[in-house]
Amino acid sequence: MTKNALDWEISPGLTDYETALTRMQARVADIRAGAAGELVWLVEHPPLYTEGTSAKREDLQDATRFPTYKAGRGGQWTYHGPGQRVVYAMLDLAKPHASVPARDVRCYVAGLERWVIATLKEFGIKGEIREGRVGIWVARADGTEEKIGAIGVRVSHWITWHGLSLNVAPELSHFGGIVPCGIAEHGVTSLKALGVDVGMEVVDAALARHWGEIFG
């Protein structure tokens, strides 16, 4: 960890969700105290469902399928599992980050969306945003739309935590235990389902290349 600098970390294997929550909370406290720099942390989790602050209990359709956790972030129900890149960003929004002005959570979320869209473009996938639907969407030729990236953040004393998930090659049937993000009328997809069969390290490298375009 480097004080007053951005750390970029990729954890191997599967990271326990409660361990991730504990670590994020500790890092947020350290950033606020000036004891550590900002952190972008890339992980994969074992199969699980997380409950955001706006989640509806009826949207958890199979409570016995995987463990469930109260995430404390914004948003609704989300699935995490192997083959999905989860990015936890702990940034100090009291200061600007390139295209994201200080103390502007809406612009921060929009920046996360632009970051994923730029990354997807490298793989020939057109990611899009939709009014009233946070996240990144892919439009099929038949007019259907599927979600490829979810965003759920929390901001504590202007320090961000939680972040986003990008479906690289997860088991898409695992989303069937929830109504993802409370949206029943649209499905989910992944790079692999769209014909892009690449390793997680390739996606990570693309994410790293495009970070500076948005956040400096």
Give the pLDDT of residue 186.
Answer: 83
Return the ∠ at Cα 198 (arms to 196 and 204), rounded to 5°: 120
**200 or 184: which carries more pLDDT confidence?**
200
Q: What pTM does this model have? A: 0.95
In DSSP terms, 39 is beta-bridged to 7, 90
Q: How confident is the model at residue 143 (pLDDT cuts 50, 70, 90)?
A: confident
Orientation angle between helical segments 105-121 and 200-215, nearest 10 degrees: 130
Q: What are phi and psi of 148, to 5 degrees?
A: -115, -20
> 3-class DSSP state for residue 7?
strand
In the predicted structure, residue 2 carries a pLDDT above the cut 80: no
Q: pLDDT digit string (tens) for 25-47?
A: 999 999 999 999 999 999 999 99
In the predicted structure, residue 169 carries a pLDDT above the cut 80: yes
Domains of the chain with bracketed CATH: 7-210 (3.30.930.10)
> Of all residues in the chain, what percent carry a pLDDT higher than 90?
89
Q: Convert 143-155 into a string of H (helix), E (strand) and C (coil).
A: CCEEEEEEEEEEE
**Candidates 28, 181, 188, 214; catalytic one:** 181
Instruction: For residue 79, give the nearest of 169, 191, 178 by alpha carbon.
Output: 178
Give the pLDDT of residue 5.
Answer: 81
Give the pLDDT of residue 1.
Answer: 41
181 catalytic? Reply is: yes
